[in-house]
Amino acid sequence: LSLDYYNLIISLKASRVPVMLAAYRLMVKRMDELGMTYPLHLGVTEAGDGEYGRIKSTAGIGTLLADGIGDTIRVSLTEAPEKEIPVCYSILQALGLRKTMVEYVACPSCGRTLFNLENVLHQVREATKHLTGLDIAVMGCIVNGPGEMADADYGYVGKQPGYISLYRGREEIKKVPEYQGVEELINLIKTDGRWVEP
């Protein structure tokens, strides 16, 4: 402050999530006490690689962003730098801070599931992953499906053995044979003018 230089961003280094969280929270508290408003750059330094590196980064960055702390982010993986970017976008998407892809809602499998949920979710994701700004729910049964997917733009719900129901928001649009489900979901999105070719 005595140098009258304010054009900076602050980044605190920690490779352990609890240390990172505590450090940034202390920094925010101290900055508030001093009336400082510097932007904060978030990241878990040396998070590692693979799934665990992504989990560490998400736990640290996501927790602080959810608390309203942080202005820029970097996921620091022991991998090629271009592999860090999708993780950043996913963290922002999960917190509702930036929507760059389809948000998928899917229930876990249970005894009421009327189709192979994992396979169908994969098929729906493969067919629609290039779209942006949509929420698509894939629900295994009619018991909980419509209520749990109430905020989705489109729903794919098990209706009865061999059939699924397609929803636009909370409204059931049609019942179709399961083998036509993904194709008919795409047709519904096209009808609404929300489809773009991959």
Choosing from 41, 63, 94, the residue where a domain stops is 94
- Does residue 5 lie within any of the structural domains? no
- Here the CATH number for the domain that contains residue 155 is 3.30.413.10
Q: What is the pLDDT of residues 102-124, one digit of tens each?
A: 999 998 888 788 888 899 999 99
Q: Are residues 114 and 81 both part of a single domain?
A: no
Model confidence band, residue 6 (pLDDT cutoffs 50, 70, 90): confident
Choosing from 48, 70, 94, the residue where a domain stops is 94
Q: Are residues 29 and 64 both part of a single domain?
A: yes
Q: Chain centroid to CA 87: how far?
A: 9
- Does residue 113 lie within any of the structural domains? yes
Is pLDDT above 70 for 34?
A: yes
- Does residue 20 lie within any of the structural domains? yes
Q: Are residues 185 and 122 both part of a single domain?
A: yes
Single out the residue of 10, 19, 8 nearest to residue 45, CA to CA.
19
Q: Are residues 119 and 74 both part of a single domain?
A: no
Is the pTM above the cut of 0.85?
no
- Does residue 197 lie within any of the structural domains? no
- Does residue 152 lie within any of the structural domains? yes
Is pLDDT above 90 for 144?
A: no
Q: Are residues 117 and 135 both part of a single domain?
A: yes
Q: Are residues 19 and 47 both part of a single domain?
A: yes
Other Cβ atoms closer than 10 A to 162: 11
E strands of the chain, at which residues?
10-11, 40-42, 72-73, 103-106, 135-139, 154-160, 163-168, 171-177
How many domains does one find in the chain? 2
| Mean predicted confidence (pLDDT) in 19-26 | 98
Give kind and range of the element (H or E) at residue 4: none
Is-contact 166 176, C-beta < 8 A? yes
Residue spans of alpha helices (H) in 129-192: 145-148, 181-191
Q: Are residues 107 and 83 both part of a single domain?
A: no
| Per-residue model confidence (pLDDT) at position 112 | 80
Is pLDDT above 80 for 2?
A: no
- Does residue 1 lie within any of the structural domains? no
Q: Are residues 134 and 183 both part of a single domain?
A: yes
Choosing from 94, 124, 158, the residue where a domain stops is 94
| Mean predicted confidence (pLDDT) in 81-94 | 96
Is pLDDT above 90 for 86?
A: yes
| Per-residue model confidence (pLDDT) at position 1 | 55
- Does residue 4 lie within any of the structural domains? no
∠ CA 183-185-150 to the nearest 5 degrees? 160
| Mean predicted confidence (pLDDT) in 17-41 | 97
Q: Are residues 75 and 120 both part of a single domain?
A: no
Query: Could you give the percent of the chain with pLDDT greater than 70?
Result: 99
Which neighbouring-strand residues pair with 197?
Answer: none
| Mean predicted confidence (pLDDT) in 169-178 | 94
CA dihedral 182, 184, 190, 191 (to 10 degrees): -160
Q: Give the domain range for residue 124.
A: 103-191
Other Cβ atoms closer than 10 A to 65: 18
- Does residue 49 lie within any of the structural domains? yes
Report long-range pairs for 114-121 (Cβ below 8 Å, ≥24 apart).
114/140, 114/141, 114/158, 114/159, 114/160, 114/161, 114/164, 115/140, 115/158, 115/164, 115/178, 120/156, 120/181, 120/182
Model confidence band, residue 159 (pLDDT cutoffs 50, 70, 90): confident
The more confidently predicted of residues 1 and 114 is: 114
| Per-residue model confidence (pLDDT) at position 108 | 84
Would you say the C-alpha torsion 71, 77, 80, 85 has a positive or negative sign? negative
The more confidently predicted of residues 30 and 110 is: 30
